Amino acid sequence: MNYQTLTPDLIQQLSAIAPGRVFTNGDINEDYTHDEMPIYGKAMPEAVVEAASTEEIAAVMKLCNEHCIPVTPRGAGTGLVGGAVAIHGGVLLVTTRMNKILNYDMENFTVTVQPGVLLNTLAEDASSKGLLYPPDPGEKFATLGGNVSTNAGGMRAVKYGCTRDYVKAMTVVLPTGEVVKLGSSVSKTSSGYSLLNLMIGSEGTLGIITELTLKLIPQPKETISLIIPYPDMESCIATVPSFFMHHLNPQALEFMGKDIVISSEAYVGKQVFPRKIDGVEAEAYLLVTFDGNDADELDAVIERASEVVLEAGAIDVLVADTPALKRDAWAARSSFLEAIMADTKLLDECDVVVPVTQIAKFLVYVDSLEESVGLKVRSFGHAGDGNLHIYCCSNDLEEDEFKARAEKFMEAVYIKATELGGQVSGEHGIGHGKVPFLAESVGEVNMRLMENIKKVFDPNLILNPGKVCYKL
Amino acid sequence: MELLVCIKQVPDDSVSVSLGADGAPKLDEIAPVVNAFDTYALEMAARFKEAHGGSVTVLTIGGDATVPALRSCLSVGADHAYKLAEESVCDTQGIAYLLSKASAKAGEQPFDVIFCGSESTDASSGQVGAQLAEILGIPVVTNVLAVEPREGGVTLKQETEEGYRVVEAPCPCVVTIVKPNYEPRYPSIKSKMAARKMPIGDLTAAGVEADAAQFGPEAAKVRRVAISAPPQRQSGVKIQEKEAAEAVRRAMEMLAGQKLI
């Protein structure tokens, strides 16, 4: 593409649209050059616009579309695939100032928010009203606009589904600067193509979300978590389908290996997961949460769950039934990524999703790559929905050598995942880091359909170029 | 040894408390939990029992609302639990008095060591352990990190401003516990289920021969006259690098990133 660079005149026009909130050159905060996965490279935008309204975003898009200036939308920058990095320069359009919870509809259980509201902010605010926003991605300080743009999943997806299931409506600025409203508060629809669903998970390549109406549910009154240690990863993973076969319906069902638990506990400074029980070393764990509205019923559920897992080879079942115990149990899980990053100089990640019944087979294969590729492998994930977070790491290699090996590792991982019926990303998205793997996984026809959809929305290909399906 | 752990049920301390229009803390929506320092005390007592024998009894002042807290204690190492329901008590001196009376009736044998959390996470007065020892006329060692048995008494590791002090005390004695370098255990499903069936002893002020003139509102020597909220703290960023040099480097980076230096 022949993108134009920003001229002083265009910067002046941007400044007129967003007075005092346009930054250039040395005034651009370095954080805006990357997301949380620096291995995909840094890129300095020509200008950062911290937008404050739908109208401002529409005006920016109109201006940039007319002058063929690339625009990269960005929330809190917590992505892991380079999706919010301005790899083709131009304008980085930041939505974090649009951070207001606009209103709750307590009769229809919805909340309308600006896209820059943080997940954590909404979760706490909804909770204070006795409501639950079920999507629960690990990164609590991501923006809701970012969550919707990647169809983020998280721990509670196994029971409640992903972000997509909680988006009722949205306001979107198209690359041309037109403003459209998608979806509505109705419960069902059969009214043409679902542009709402097309926008969800499109990673800011089709439009910029400027307002969201999200579904809430009444907050379950009770939750209990179980820490379930196993003597080996195989028996740990093999238990997972049993939860569903016995209709136990956990809210969250996570697996983790001993090594990553030890790293994470060292990182948070608190040991919670038992290392040895009655002389048996724990090598893997399930961390499970159940929710409900009746404490006695929930007790009955955890008793049944305990019978099932002990029968299946668990060493013991520890119960986190107080706020402090639950918090501590989940603190370690929530810090896995930070713990890995703190321990590692170079790392790359994939968040493939495979059928639940294939997790064990897939993990055995992934572990075998550690030796053949020559990289340290760390894995954990959402056992209940087959979404695995797999990291390849090195503290010794030069960056070029690491990248070469990581590419080989990722290729092998994605080929295996596809072979087992899996997909490239469960919740992080494609960004620009995973485009070739998506192409390989979904095939030529699917990629062509996606590229053509992109062109319909964005004829000049200015919005978030080089991401998802369009490798420029 | 026979060990008694005095516990208090407090509002979950991870939840920020706001004041109502009447100036009182709004606690209705906040889950009650066992005071964190008391959970450390219970864990220390349970470890002591497992290493050296004996039994652990927990005791609280409160009505039926304290049953979940006591069951929770029974699931993580306590062998017996008692509650003394008495609503008129209103200062630490009164609580300590009732505990002193109840400690003579809870359990079949006199207690050798009485564990208290060093303070509660709600009122944070830090008085009850010392007052209890005073009333019972026995020694008290505060800010204890570890307890080991010795002939006729216990050896205690005490936290001080400068470091640690090792002291000895004869039994019976009161010890107030601060955070040790381990965490309270999680109940197993088996211990939790067993705790559900264990009896909880009911005591009353009259039953333990407590004199109402010693603990009621009339006896209270300290009276709360007002509560105010602390000033709001500005949000911050936690730097968690292990090495000091690395932490400084990270802090410099962040300051530079924000164009502050």
SS3 A110: strand
Q: Are residues A91 and A105 in the same domain?
A: no
A309–chain B Cβ distance below 8 A for any pair: no
Smallest CA–CA distance from A328 into chain B, residue: B183
Q: Same domain for A305 and A233? A: yes
Residue in B14, B15, B186 closest to A227 by CB: B186
Residue A306 lies in a domain: yes
Domain holding A166: CATH number? 3.30.465.10
Q: Which residues of B touch A302 (CB under 8 A)?
A: 189
The pair of three-digit structure tokens given for residue A261, joined into one six-digit string: 């638990």
Chain A residues closer than 8 Å to B187 by CB: 318-319, 321
Tell me, yes or no, whether A400 and A309 share the same domain.
Answer: no
Last residue of a domain, one of A97, A120, A155: A97
pTM of the model: 0.84
> Domain containing A65 — which CATH number?
3.30.43.10
pLDDT of residue A179: 98
Long-range contacts of A456-461 (CB under 8 A, 24+ apart): A457/A174, A457/A175, A457/A205, A457/A206, A457/A207, A458/A174, A458/A175, A458/A176, A458/A205, A458/A206, A459/A175, A459/A176, A460/A65, A460/A68, A460/A175, A461/A1
Across the interface, do B14 and A327 touch by the CB < 8 Å criterion?
Answer: yes
Closest residue in chain B to residue A320, using alpha carbons only: B186
Mean pLDDT over B124-148 rounds to: 96
- Distance of alpha carbon B120 from alpha carbon A188, whole angstroms: 52
- Are residues A332 and A350 located together in one domain of the fold? no
Instruction: Give the Cα-Cα-Cα angle A360, A238, A222 (nearest 5 degrees).
Output: 115
- B123 pLDDT exceeds 70? yes
- Domain that residue A273 falls in: 223-337
Residue A458 lies in a domain: no
Same domain, A91 and A110: no
Are residues A324 and B12, on separate chains, in Cβ contact within 8 Å?
yes
Residues of chain B with C-beta less than 8 angstroms from the C-beta of A309: none
Q: Helix, strand or coil for residue A368?
A: helix
* Digit-coded pLDDT (tens) for A383-406: 888 999 999 999 999 999 999 999
| Cα distance between residue B25 and residue B103, in whole Å | 31
pLDDT (tens digit per residue) in A122-179: 999 999 899 999 999 989 999 999 999 999 998 999 999 999 999 999 999 999 999 9
A324 at the B interface (CB within 8 A)?
Answer: yes
The CA-atom distances, in angstroms, between A29 and each of A21, A45, A46, A315 are 12, 10, 12, 50
ipTM computed for the complex = 0.79
Q: Are residue A107 and residue A210 in the same domain, yes or no?
A: yes
Same domain, residue pair A327 and A242: yes
Does A115 fall in a domain? yes
Q: How far apart are CA A348 and CA B196, in angstroms?
A: 48
CATH number, domain containing residue A415: 3.30.70.2740
- Does A213 share its domain with A130? yes
pLDDT score at A472: 60
Does a structural domain hold residue A435?
Answer: no
How do residues A273-282 score in pLDDT, each as one tens digit? 999 999 999 9
Q: Is residue A423 part of a domain?
A: yes
Q: Domains in chain A: how many in total?
A: 4
Give B-chain residues touching A267 at CB under 8 angstroms: 240
Quick one: how far is CA A13 from the chain centroid? 35
Q: Which pLDDT band, with edges at 50, 70 and 90, does B87 fall under?
A: confident
CA distance A318 to chain B (A): 4
Tell me if chain B has a CB within 8 Å of the CB of A248.
no
Tell me what pLDDT residue B220 has. Answer: 85
Three-state secondary structure readout of chain B: CEEEEECCEEECCCCCCCECCCCCECCCCCCEEECHHHHHHHHHHHHHHHHHCCEEEEEEECCHHHHHHHHHHHCCCCCEEEEECCCCCCCHHHHHHHHHHHHHHCCCCCCCEEEEECCCCCCCCCCHHHHHHHHHCCCEEEEEEEEEEECCEEEEEEECCCCEEEEEEECCEEEEECCCCCCCCCCEHHHHHHHHHCCEEEECCCCCCCCHHHHCHHHCCCCCCCCCCCCCCCCCCCCCCCCHHHHHHHHHHHHHHCCCC
User: Which carries the bigger pLDDT value, residue B38 or residue B215?
Assistant: B38
Q: What is the C-alpha separation between A175 and A58, in angstroms, rounded?
A: 8
Which residues in chain B are closer than 8 Å to A324, comparing Cβ atoms? Answer: 12, 14, 33, 36, 39
Q: Which of A372-386, B118-132, B225-239 has the lowest mean pLDDT?
A: B225-239
A73 or A442, greater pLDDT: A73
Answer whether residue A109 is part of any domain: yes
Do A107 and A164 have their domain in common?
Answer: yes
Q: Which long-range contacts (CB under 8 A, 24 or more apart) does B238-241 make?
A: B240/A267, B240/A338, B240/A342, B241/A342
Asked if A68 is an interface residue toward chain B (Cβ–Cβ < 8 A), one would say no
Picking from A297, A313, A337, the residue at the C-terminal end of a domain is A337
In a domain, A1, yes or no: no
Q: Does A349 share its domain with A366?
A: yes
What CATH number is given to the structural domain containing A252?
3.30.70.2190
Establish if A470 belongs to a structural domain. no
Looking at the complex, does the CB of residue B42 fall below 8 Å from at least one CB of chain A?
no
